Amino acid sequence: MIGAYAGRGRFAEYVDQRRQSMVRQLPTDVERRSPLSGAWRRAFLRAPRHLFVERIHSNGSVYRRTDRYWRHWLDLVYDERQVTCLASMLSDLDVADEHRVLLVGAGTGYACAVLCERRSPARVKSVLVPREGLEPPTDSLEGCCSVH
């Protein structure tokens, strides 16, 4: 994993910087439709997006968490443009304390992770729909929410 390319502390520090920067930018982008509440911002801060994105495409190239360009991969993973649509959808969802949420076709699993950070994991269920060439994110979601 990335440990081969970066000291654990340096990597974790960079992840925290990128995650905080992404969340700071989200309210500006999302405000056009609806403001992102403090509770949602905290959920995005706690959900580790880098655990759900093995590779990312940019300008015809593919970047992976294990290659020597891990810093550029992290920059792309935590680019607020990558999660603005998800932030808008979750903000519009208007989840109340008593609500339960079912996610179908959870993709990378990141939306499930954010919802679990916002709600109790017992209130979030996820049904994974396998896609060719994409491994289900069950390891990343372990302990987060109920995955079927």
DSSP element (H, E) containing 32: none
Residues 72 and 107 in one domain: no
Burial class of residue 100, CB neighbours in 10 A (0-12, 13-18, 19+): exposed
- Beta carbons of 33 and 88 less than 8 angstroms apart: yes
Residues 49 and 17 in one domain: yes
Residues 73 and 114 in one domain: no
Provide φ and ψ at 147, rounded to 5°.
-110, 130
Residues 22 and 60 in one domain: yes
pTM of model > 0.85: no
Residues 26 and 51 in one domain: yes
Contacts of 81 (CB under 8 A, 6+ apart): 29
Last residue of a domain, one of 49, 69, 94: 94
DSSP letter at 133?
A: T
Residues 115 and 135 in one domain: yes
* Structural domain span for residue 1: 1-94
pLDDT in tens, 48-79: 888 888 888 888 888 887 778 788 888 998 88
Q: Residue 97 is encoded by which pair of tokens?
A: 């304390």
Q: Which of 114, 119, 115 is nearest to 98 (CA)?
A: 119
pLDDT of 5: 38
Residues 100 and 119 in one domain: yes
Residues 31 and 16 in one domain: yes
pLDDT of 138: 53
Residue 142 has pLDDT above 80, yes or no: no
Torsion of CA 45, 136, 125, 93, to 10 degrees: 50
pLDDT of 127: 80
How many C-beta neighbours within 10 Å does residue 82 have? 15
Residues 83 and 108 in one domain: no
Residues 125 and 66 in one domain: no
pLDDT of 147: 52
How many distinct structural domains can be found in the chain? Answer: 2
Q: What is the mean pLDDT of residues 105-124?
A: 83
Residues 120 and 100 in one domain: yes
Q: What is the mean pLDDT of residues 102-114?
A: 82
Pairing of strands 124-127, 146-147: parallel
Q: Residue 109 is encoded by which pair of tokens?
A: 């699993």
Residues 44 and 105 in one domain: no
